[in-house]
């Protein structure tokens, strides 16, 4: 059997363990196991009212995928589950440890993909963890410098030039090298989805993609030359296109992947189409990594109201991207 998918439990004070429990209660869409604290997962099963047994494993190869059972690779162990809905340093350290264990298994090739439930960046900071989020940790542990975030659903695939930085800094990060990297990673992502020659559209930074320098020169002087270089490399790239229309054109099938210049430019269109279906994919890693397109939802953690649709979409996308 092919290697399974590993799913980290996320922050134990958030909805991550609940949506993981609900995913397995409803039937995971691919062979998968949990990476987390068994005690936290038992509490989550009680929250969602799922009568599943936990089968603790020491390695992914021991997973049985038996009906009525969740295979669990213990990680991030806590003395007791934390209070729901609160930033907690111990919870942050626990969620971090689960991701670290997942990275080890992914780099060793023992899992087909890593799917990560939401973590709390504030809890990581409280625990003294020097990474702002999953993406930066994954890139550091994998030893890659060229990486990017892609948000995707059934209608759009969007790759970001910059991720979690202030808007003023995001503008400064529009450089020839950053543009080329994002376009190349977008094309590679399209091929991973089985598209032989992905059509990559690049969104402009300024209104009307700068209007030939009337509303800013970055589109004309930085982005357009990078698009031309990508075309010279054999990539079907075009742009810069006005940011207020390029996503609609992609949704209608004109483009396969859109490169957005900064976080909100790219994520608002994807999230507007539905938080339940969006999937975060880290590009440039030596393994597949996806995650739900939402956070820890501390406000509803422990209530049993959290839905697993985005996590299910993340597992489904990971399985589709993994080598057959």
CATH of 1-146+286-324, one of 3.40.718.10, 3.30.9.10, 3.30.1310.10, 3.40.50.720: 3.40.718.10
Confidence of residue 293 (pLDDT cuts 50, 70, 90): confident
What local confidence, expressed as pLDDT, does residue 119 receive? 96
Kindly write down the DSSP assignment for every residue of 88-128, as one continuous string: -HHHHHHHHHHHHHHHHHHHTT-SSEEEE----HHHHHHTT
| Cα–Cα distance measured from residue 20 to residue 174, given in angstroms and rounded to the nearest whole number | 37
Q: Please state the domain extents for the chain.
A: 1-146+286-324, 154-273
Residue 2's pLDDT is what?
A: 79
154-273: CATH topology: Isopropylmalate Dehydrogenase (3.40.718)
Q: Do domains 1-146+286-324 and 154-273 have the same CATH topology?
A: yes
Cα–Cα distances in Å, from 56 out to 65, 69, 103, 237, 261?
12, 10, 19, 47, 43
Percentage of the chain exceeding pLDDT 70: 99
**Mean pLDDT confidence for 267-286:** 88
> What does each C-alpha distance from 168 to 48, 155, 173 come to in angstroms?
43, 29, 9
Identify the pLDDT of residue 324: 66
159 close to 269: Cβ distance less than 8 angstroms: no
Q: Looking at residue 132, what is its pLDDT?
A: 85
Indicate the burial class of 313 (C-beta count within 10 angstroms; 0-12, 13-18, 19 or more). buried
- Measured CA to CA, the distance from residue 16 to residue 306 in angstroms comes to 9
pTM for the predicted model, two decimal places: 0.89
Per the listing, tokens 């963890």 go with: 129
Residue in 228, 225, 94, 247 with CA at minimum distance from that of residue 156: 247
| Residue 1 predicted with pLDDT over 60 | no
What phi and psi values does residue 290 have, to the nearest 5 degrees? Answer: -130, 165
């Amino acid at each position: 059997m092919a290697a399974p998918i590993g799913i980290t439990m996320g922050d134990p004070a958030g909805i991550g363990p609940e949506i993981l429990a609900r995913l397995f209660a409803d039937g995971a869409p691919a062979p998968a196991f949990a990476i987390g604290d068994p005690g936290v997962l038992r509490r989550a099963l009680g929250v969602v009212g799922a009568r599943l047994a936990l089968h603790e494993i020491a390695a992914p190869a021991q997973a049985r995928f038996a009906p009525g059972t969740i295979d669990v690779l213990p990680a991030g162990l806590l003395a007791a589950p934390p209070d729901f809905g609160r930033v907690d340093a111990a919870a942050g350290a626990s969620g971090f440890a689960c991701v670290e264990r997942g990275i080890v298994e992914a780099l060793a090739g023992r899992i087909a993909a890593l799917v990560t439930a939401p973590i709390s960046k504030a809890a990581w900071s409280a625990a003294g963890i020097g990474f702002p989020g999953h993406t930066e940790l994954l890139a550091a542990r994998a030893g890659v410098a060229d990486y990017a975030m892609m948000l995707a659903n059934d209608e759009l695939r969007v790759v970001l030039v910059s991720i979690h930085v202030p808007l003023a800094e995001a503008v400064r990060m529009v450089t020839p090298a950053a543009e080329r990297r994002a376009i190349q990673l977008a094309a590679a992502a399209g091929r991973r989805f089985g598209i032989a020659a992905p059509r990559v559209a690049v969104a402009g930074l300024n209104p009307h993609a700068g209007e030939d320098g009337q509303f800013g020169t970055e589109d004309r002087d930085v982005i357009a030359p990078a698009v031309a270089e990508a075309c010279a490399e054999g990539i079907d790239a075009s742009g810069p296109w006005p940011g207020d229309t390029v996503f609609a054109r992609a949704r209608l099938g004109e483009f396969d992947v859109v490169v957005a210049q900064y976080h909100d430019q790219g994520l608002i269109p994807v999230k507007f189409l539905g938080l339940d279906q969006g999937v975060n994919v880290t590009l440039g890693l030596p393994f597949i990594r996806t995650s739900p397109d939402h956070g820890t939802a501390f406000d509803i953690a422990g209530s049993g109201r959290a839905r697993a649709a985005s996590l299910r979409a993340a597992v489904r996308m990971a399985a589709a991207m993994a080598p057959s």
